[in-house]
């Protein structure tokens, strides 16, 4: 559940936004002035802060400036004054976006979604998809596809395929495969490798076409690009 902090002194507006956000399954907390708002913003973790510009004790710009000395929590500035100056100042003080009151709740939601999308993109690690020919493997999600069709593999089959994809054109002996997939101390016999290669071929290969995993007689197996 995403956590949103509202710092706004206009109680009826706060109540309205809070109900709408809670309806969308956000956890919401409210601070009605700049001083307590800054305190909550700094001492608790938030996914987003909706920050009013005109606030008692410390105004929104100053709250944002002080927050930015410590945290990069996304901030959408709310302001009644729809002046270009406020917008520029708001963004200068470190706000991520700005919305002028009165606003449509759908527009606020659109801005919130845009910010969450951006944060997710920034946080998402770069996926290192392994591929050979038309076979693609995402090691993180463990999704395997051939020509875009998902192929279900067991853990061992998956681990075995990963070894081949990480070492294209390099012949893997049965012992090498055993070490990498089953572990050095494994008491499994090397012929289990043959069994799992057969499973993999059965799931990956296209009938009538040459197998993706080739046998190197007397040595082991190789996947060629």
Contact residues: Ca ion, CB under 5 A: 9, 52, 54
Token reading at 153? 């593999």
Minimum distance from CB of 39 to Ca ion (Å)? Answer: 18
Count Cβ neighbours within 10 Å for each residue of 16-41 and write b for 16 or more, e otherwise.
Answer: ebbeebeeeebebebbbbbebbbeeb
Helix (H, G, I), strand (E, B) or coil at 29: strand
DSSP label of 206: P
**Residue 55 or 165 with smaller CB distance to Ca ion:** 55
Minimum distance from CB of 16 to Ca ion (Å)? Answer: 14
Minimum distance from CB of 32 to Ca ion (Å)? Answer: 9
**Residue 52 or 96 with smaller CB distance to Ca ion:** 52
Minimum distance from CB of 22 to Ca ion (Å)? Answer: 21
Q: Is 197 exposed, middle or buried (0-12, 13-18, 19+ CB in 10 A)?
A: buried
Question: At what angle are helices 105-123 and 11-23 packed, to 10 degrees?
Answer: 60
Phi-psi region of 130 (alpha: psi -120 to 50; beta: other; left: phi over 0): beta
Q: By beta-carbon distance, which residue lies closest to Ca ion?
A: 54
- Kindly report the backbone phi and psi dihedral angles of residue 82, in degrees, each rounded to the nearest multiple of 5, phi listed first: -90, 50
Q: How many angstroms from the chain centroid is the CA of residue 111?
A: 19
Minimum distance from CB of 108 to Ca ion (Å)? Answer: 16
Helix (H, G, I), strand (E, B) or coil at 179: helix
8 A C-beta contact, residue 30 and residue 6: yes
Minimum distance from CB of 9 to Ca ion (Å)? Answer: 5
């Amino acid at each position: 559940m995403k956590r949103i902090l509202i710092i706004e002194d206009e109680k009826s507006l706060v109540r309205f936004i809070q109900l709408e956000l809670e309806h969308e399954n956000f956890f919401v907390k409210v601070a009605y002035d700049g001083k307590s708002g800054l305190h909550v913003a700094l001492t608790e973790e938030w996914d987003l802060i909706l920050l009013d510009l005109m606030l008692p004790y410390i105004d929104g710009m100053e709250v944002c400036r002080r927050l930015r000395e410590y945290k990069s929590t996304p901030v959408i500035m709310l302001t009644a004054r729809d002046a270009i100056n406020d917008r520029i100042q708001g963004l200068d003080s470190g706000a991520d976006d700005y919305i002028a009151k009165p606003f449509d709740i759908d527009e606020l939601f659109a801005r919130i979604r845009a910010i969450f999308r951006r944060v997710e993109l920034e946080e998402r690690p770069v996926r290192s998809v392994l591929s050979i020919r038309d076979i693609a493997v995402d090691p993180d999600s463990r999704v395997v596809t051939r020509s875009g069709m998902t192929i279900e593999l067991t853990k061992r089959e998956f681990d075995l395929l990963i070894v081949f994809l990480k070492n294209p054109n390099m012949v893997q002996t049965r012992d090498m495969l055993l070490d990498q997939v089953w572990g050095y101390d494994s008491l499994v016999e090397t012929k289990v490798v043959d069994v799992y290669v057969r499973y993999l071929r059965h799931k990956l290969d296209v009938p009538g076409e040459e197998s993706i995993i080739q046998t190197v007689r007397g040595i082991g197996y190789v996947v060629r690009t």
